[in-house]
């Protein structure tokens, strides 16, 4: 048994993103005497935050009504111009705003760095007395004698790759809490385990995901239109029968955030979401903005796309799921920070009331009920069939059906149908059934190779530590992932983590894991066709260090 130091508190929040910090702030607003701890695996708050982002300020207005006057960086650039393009290989068609449901508009929204907004939220939390600890991943949960969650254990530090203890070995700390809030983002390690332990997904559809890949560019000042928001769909994913879309947001300081989301239910195992993003940048309408500019940052992250029908039970004995750990992204709007923050606020209200009543480690079903009767539910129910309609019927027909469904739900006309999901990995087809895709070589000006771009994510992991990408069965990986599916891990990973090489001694295929490249997107955990790769937390502070993302 490892001897560990321990720290008691009222509430421990796992994850220093918008949801976790909103929960912490709300707890202290309700009861300043509560001891609240926020654990963040990144080297600093915001280091692992990746989003477009166009932010609906609805939750911010509720939590901190004076945020615009208090120096929040998101207030710098209100949305002024909103476009939605359907792309062909060389052309584009603008969808008229009049045919789109009102919820698809961006009036009153802001565009900027969600990472910087999160850093600002952390300052507000600390000003209220919240203890914020970056560089401390939560690696495990503490269970009491009754099987209730009683806190978490932070990641051990100073363990060598072979499992031995190095000279600077420090065991993780036990954080004992009356309530534990999981705000890990999409596909969190502890969230996945608590969903399984407490069967939280028994009455919902499986969660499905997209992979969002983003670059930040300084562009020619003559081309910069502060507040302009552009979304695209169609090409290039139409050529591989995949679906998703791009975005290009004109933000502060002469920069544009551009990115591409590929739904991870694609069938062709030769598809590379990273390469599709690079192709998209060469579309004339996109390239025009980038020519004469300079890429300054890169990153990638999985995004929840399951919608309302994939929201699990939100409470378990001793804790709750909030934000993207639960899955509150509005897929058609490409927004989730406002719903994530609101869920954190509702969880905080439930926890504060429970502690005030003398309770601890109870199942917070009033929180679950509150979410399901909140504006989170109202918003997500309107779009609940958008993702599965496109997934089932394709980009053209599916978009039309999704639009009709959203309009009818907006007008409160019938349609009690809730379409279903299948896990993303289950769609992956055999390699011999699909044509290989010959992606163009990068030009080093507009398009780039993976490893060059990963350098712009400022990713770093301590040397000589256990690989945090755990392969359950190496033989299965070779016999199935490689021989049946053609080794898609080398293509779905946006950071060059996985390679299939030839062993020089035996001549046999060798599965190479370059874990130092990992940007913590979690795609491997989601898309591996055999669910044979398990993403766990690496040593604290490891991973990307996103600036202004």
For residue range 124-159, what is the model confidence (pLDDT) as tens digits?
999 999 999 999 999 999 999 999 999 999 999 999
Which helix (H) or strand (E) is 182 found in, with range? strand 174-182
Whether residue 123 contacts residue 21, with contact meaning beta carbons closer than 8 Å, is answered with no
List Cα–Cα distances, 244 to 94, 301, 308, 532, in angstroms: 17, 14, 19, 26
Give the pLDDT confidence score for residue 97 in this predicted structure.
Answer: 79
Give the pLDDT confidence score for residue 444 in this predicted structure.
Answer: 97
Give the pLDDT confidence score for residue 126 in this predicted structure.
Answer: 98
Q: Are residues 350 and 408 in the same domain?
A: no
Nearest residue to 246 via CA among 215, 272, 200: 215
Q: Are residues 376 and 389 in the same domain?
A: no
Q: Are residues 124 and 178 in the same domain?
A: yes
Q: Are strands 131-134 and 36-40 parallel, antiparallel or unpaired?
A: parallel
- The residue count of the chain comes to 549
Domain ends where: 365, 396, 418?
418
Give the pLDDT confidence score for residue 414 in this predicted structure.
Answer: 66
Q: Are residues 122 and 159 in the same domain?
A: yes
Give the pLDDT confidence score for residue 1 in this predicted structure.
Answer: 74
Q: Are residues 324 and 397 in the same domain?
A: no
Within-domain flag for 374: yes
Question: Could you tell me the maximum CA-CA distance found in the chain, to the nearest angstrom?
Answer: 67
For residue range 378-414, what is the model confidence (pLDDT) as tens digits?
999 988 888 888 877 777 788 788 888 888 888 888 6
Q: Are strands 165-170 and 157-159 parallel, antiparallel or unpaired?
A: antiparallel
Within-domain flag for 214: no
List Cα–Cα distances, 391 to 395, 421, 523, in angstroms: 8, 9, 18
- Dig out the tokens for 109 from the structure: 């929204």
Which helix (H) or strand (E) is 153 found in, with range? strand 149-154
Domain ends where: 338, 363, 382?
382
Domain that holds residue 197: 6-66+115-206+308-382
Domain ends where: 418, 436, 462?
418
236: preceding bond cis by omega (within 30 degrees): yes
The rounded Cα 127 to chain-centroid distance in angstroms is 27
Within-domain flag for 490: no
Sign of CA dihedral 172, 177, 182, 184: negative
* DSSP one-letter string for 249-284: EE-STTEEEEEEEEETT---TT--HHHHHHHHHTSH
Q: Are residues 312 and 414 in the same domain?
A: no
pLDDT tens, N- to C-terminus, the chain (549 residues): 788 999 999 999 999 999 999 999 999 999 999 999 999 999 999 999 999 899 999 999 999 999 999 999 999 999 999 999 999 999 999 988 777 777 788 999 999 999 999 999 999 999 999 999 999 999 999 999 999 999 999 999 999 999 999 999 999 999 999 999 999 999 999 999 999 999 999 999 999 999 999 999 999 999 999 999 999 999 999 999 899 999 999 999 999 999 999 999 999 999 999 999 999 999 999 999 999 999 999 999 999 999 999 999 999 999 999 999 999 999 988 899 999 999 999 999 999 999 999 999 999 999 999 999 999 999 999 888 888 888 777 777 887 888 888 888 888 886 667 889 999 999 999 999 999 999 999 999 999 999 999 999 999 998 899 999 999 999 999 999 999 999 999 999 999 999 999 988 899 999 999 999 999 999 999 999 999 999 999 998 999 999 999
Nearest residue to 454 via CA among 413, 403, 497: 497
Whether residue 435 contacts residue 266, with contact meaning beta carbons closer than 8 Å, is answered with no
- β-sheet with 209-218: strand ranges across: 92-94, 81-87, 228-234, 244-250, 255-263, 209-218, 294-304
> What CATH number corresponds to the domain at position 349?
3.50.50.60
Phi, psi for 436 (deg, rounded to 5): -65, 150
Q: Are residues 171 and 191 in the same domain?
A: yes
Whether residue 53 contacts residue 142, with contact meaning beta carbons closer than 8 Å, is answered with no
CB-facing half-sphere around the CA of 519: CA atoms within 13 A: 29
Q: Are residues 317 and 405 in the same domain?
A: no
- Dig out the tokens for 385 from the structure: 């069939």
- Dig out the tokens for 56 from the structure: 């609906």
3-state class of 245 per DSSP?
strand
Q: Are residues 329 and 363 in the same domain?
A: yes
For residue range 488-543, what is the model confidence (pLDDT) as tens digits?
999 999 999 999 999 888 999 999 999 999 999 999 999 999 999 999 999 989 99
Within-domain flag for 119: yes
- Dig out the tokens for 496 from the structure: 């060059």
How many domains, in total, are found in the chain? 2
Alpha-carbon span 383 to 307, nearest angstrom: 8
Within-domain flag for 299: no
Within-domain flag for 504: no
Within-domain flag for 393: yes
Q: Are residues 361 and 398 in the same domain?
A: no
Whether residue 250 contacts residue 228, with contact meaning beta carbons closer than 8 Å, is answered with yes
List Cα–Cα distances, 104 to 231, 390, 486, in angstroms: 11, 16, 39
Q: Are residues 129 and 199 in the same domain?
A: yes
Within-domain flag for 37: yes
Nearest residue to 13 via CA among 25, 24, 5, 26: 24
Alpha-carbon span 67 to 439, nearest angstrom: 45
Alpha-carbon span 428 to 421, nearest angstrom: 14
Q: Are residues 337 and 412 in the same domain?
A: no
């Amino acid at each position: 048994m490892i001897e560990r130091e321990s720290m008691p508190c009222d509430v421990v929040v796992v994850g220093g993103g918008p949801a976790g910090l909103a929960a912490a702030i709300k707890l202290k607003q309700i009861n300043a005497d509560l001891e609240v701890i926020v654990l963040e695996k990144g080297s600093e708050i915001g280091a692992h935050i990746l989003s477009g982002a166009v932010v609906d300020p609805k939750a911010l207005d509720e939590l901190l009504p004076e945020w615009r006057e208090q120096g929040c960086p998101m207030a710098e650039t209100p949305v002024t111009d909103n476009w939605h393009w359907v792309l062909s290989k060389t052309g584009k068609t603008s969808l008229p705003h009049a045919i789109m449901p009102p919820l698809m508009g961006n009036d009153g929204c802001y565009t900027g760095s969600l990472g910087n907004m999160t850093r600002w939220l952390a300052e507000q939390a600390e000003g209220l007395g919240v203890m914020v600890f970056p560089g401390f991943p939560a690696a495990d949960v503490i269970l009491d004698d009754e099987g209730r969650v009683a806190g978490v254990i932070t990641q051990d530090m100073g363990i060598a790759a072979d499992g031995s203890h190095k000279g600077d070995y420090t065991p993780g700390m036990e954080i004992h809490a009356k309530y534990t809030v999981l705000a890990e983002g999409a596909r969190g390690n502890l969230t996945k385990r608590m969903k399984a332990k407490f069967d939280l997904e028994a009455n919902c559809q499986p969660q499905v995901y997209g992979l969002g890949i983003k670059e930040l560019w300084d562009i020619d000042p003559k081309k910069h239109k502060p507040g302009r928001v552009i979304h695209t769909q169609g090409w290039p994913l139409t050529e591989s029968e995949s679906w998703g879309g791009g975005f290009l947001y004109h933000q502060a300081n002469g920069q544009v955030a551009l990115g591409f989301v590929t739904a991870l239910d694609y069938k062709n195992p030769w598809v590379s979401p990273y390469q599709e993003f690079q192709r998209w940048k060469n579309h004339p309408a996109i390239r025009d903005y980038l020519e004469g500019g300079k890429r300054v940052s890169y990153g990638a992250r999985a995004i929840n796309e399951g919608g309302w029908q994939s929201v699990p039970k939100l409470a378990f004995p001793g804790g709750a799921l909030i934000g993207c750990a639960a899955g509150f992204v509005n897929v058609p709007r490409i927004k989730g920070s406002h719903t994530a923050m609101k869920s954190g606020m509702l969880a905080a209200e439930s926890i504060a009331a429970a502690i005030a009543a003398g309770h601890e480690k109870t199942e917070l079903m009033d929180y679950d009920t509150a979410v399901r009767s909140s504006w989170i539910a109202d918003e997500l129910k309107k779009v609940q069939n958008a993702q599965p309609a496109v997934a089932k019927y394709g980009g053209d027909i599916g978009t039309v059906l999704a639009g009709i469904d959203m309009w009818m739900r907006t007008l409160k006309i019938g349609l009690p149908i809730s379409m279903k999901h299948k896990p993303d990995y289950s769609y992956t087809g055999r390699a011999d059934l699909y044509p290989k895709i010959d992606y163009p070589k990068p030009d080093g000006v507009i398009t780039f190779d993976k490893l060059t771009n990963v350098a712009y994510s400022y990713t770093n992991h301590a040397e000589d530590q256990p690989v945090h990408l755990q392969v359950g069965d190496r033989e299965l990986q070779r016999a199935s992932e490689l021989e049946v599916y053609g080794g898609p891990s080398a293509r779905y990973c946006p950071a060059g983590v996985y390679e299939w090489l030839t062993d020089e001694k035996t001549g046999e295929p060798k599965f190479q894991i370059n874990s130092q490249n990992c940007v913590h997107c979690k795609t491997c955990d989601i898309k591996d066709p055999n669910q044979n790769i398990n993403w766990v937390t690496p040593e604290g502070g490891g991973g990307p260090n996103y600036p202004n993302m």
